[in-house]
Structure 1
Amino acid sequence: MSEQTAGASAGERAYNPRLELYKGFWKRFKKNKSALVGGIVVLFFILVAIFGPMLVSTDPNATDIANKLQPPSAEHWFGTDNYGRDIFARIIHGTGLTLIVGFVSVMIGGIIGVLFGIIAGYYGGKIDTVIMRLMDVLLAFPGILLALAIVSVLGGSIQNMIIAIGIFSVPAFARIVRGSTLSVRKLEYIDAMRALGASDFRIIFKHVLPNVLSPIIVQATLRIATAVLTAAGLSFLGLGAQPPTPEWGAMLSAGRSYMAESPHMILIPGIAIVLVVLAFNIFGDGLRDALDPKANK
């Protein structure tokens, strides 16, 4: 009898709800083959951004006019641009810059948007009305136009581009978090915590926020793709990264004058942008399905 009791106790101790939650998530996620491929591509670009500059010794800004507009070859894998700069080296160094812009701008927009959304959803009333009308004003402008207006006021630079993309990302996070918070705040255990005297700060950040993390994670992943595309667009228009910074959008802008004679100048950075944006979108869709508690196991 004692051995059976000991075995049952060991089994109870071995059960880890959080571990089972992660296992369920992974089981659902790996069923989505396209999302798995998207995640691998995202991981690949992250590794390139971290280790690529250390493995490529060529200076991305080193000019060699004698070898300008060279097609892809054994010496220059992706060819050279109009200044003779190695496009492969510029793509590798530009990967880190592209991902930094995407991650940092989304982090800024996410932090501000989550705070606005969770406050609006938790308190409701006039606070909710004021915050959400402000978000509606921002949503009234197409994202790229809002970013263009902000960068035009602040000036063209990577830092201002990040700020602009972060600002236009705020409403998306705020609306999603507000909707999730409205559902969570009606749960009985939230009322119980309030009845026990827990402060609003404790309830919001210890009990409400952990329950709305899933949509935040999914939105952040999808938003990175939008941020990368917007950053490339701003740089293409000359309002983002300034020459000779190896930014993919700026590389596209520089190559548009040589489309006929040297199409590799726009094809290679264009393909890189498409791959990153597509990978994050597919990966985000997979996360959304895997994190859905109603998903079929």
Structure 2
Amino acid sequence: MSLLDDFMMRAVLAGLGLAVAAAPLGCFVVWRRMAYFGDATAHAAILGVALSLTFSVSIFGGVMVVALAMALTVSSLGGRGFAMDTMLGVLAHSALAFGLVAASFLTGIRIDLMAYLFGDILAVMPGDLAVIWTGAVLVAGLIAWRWSALLTATLNPDLARAEGVNPEREQLVLTLALAITVAVAIKVVGALLITAMLIIPAAAARPFSRSPLQMALLAMVLAAWAVIGGVRASYSFDTPTGPTIVCVVAVLFTLSLSVSRMVRQH
């Protein structure tokens, strides 16, 4: 396989764009134990796709609006007496089900649900690349700009308030970043696998990181390796590319756990 093949090169570039956005954001998802929060937001993406096609608007824009609405809903329900994991489970699966049902009502529009559920990175076109990288740069820039405040609010909300940082505002920054990442990622790995790309690279980087910044950068490197390795493997073995990328990152996570255990034992 030559990476100079146009569609393969576009696939790799799209995946690297996702790595730039998802890996550092995923660190905050891991630190804040927000995995199900990410899941609920990602599952809402299918409803965003159905509504975008119904009203003939940009799928990226529609997915981002619905993902943002879901993330804000989840945030607002926190601390209102609901068991959060139960509430997130209800919202995540309800949003996916409503999205699938809404998609079934679309007439005269051919919709490939598998592509939106599991991604279709090999079908990425130059226009999609521009959208993916614009979103990725926005997310990376947002996190870099708010890095110190986000970190303080994540580690100790009370200390953050004492330093004049509003934890609720930083939560909104993460919510916006998550919505953009979901909109960017749906073309690459699909709604069902977005959370994996957020969490697994960050979890794999954790044992080898001595600082939050080091963890974010290492997560980005691991996600990039997974993208390149996954695209190559899917081409070689004729497997679905999005799931193959996630399989590669899962293997990297398993290796990181094994190596960290061996290092601790010695």
TM-score (norm 2): 0.29
Pair member with larger Rg: 1
TM-score (norm 1): 0.27
Question: Relative contact order: is structure 1 or structure 2 higher (C-alpha 8 Å, sep ≥ 6)?
Answer: 2
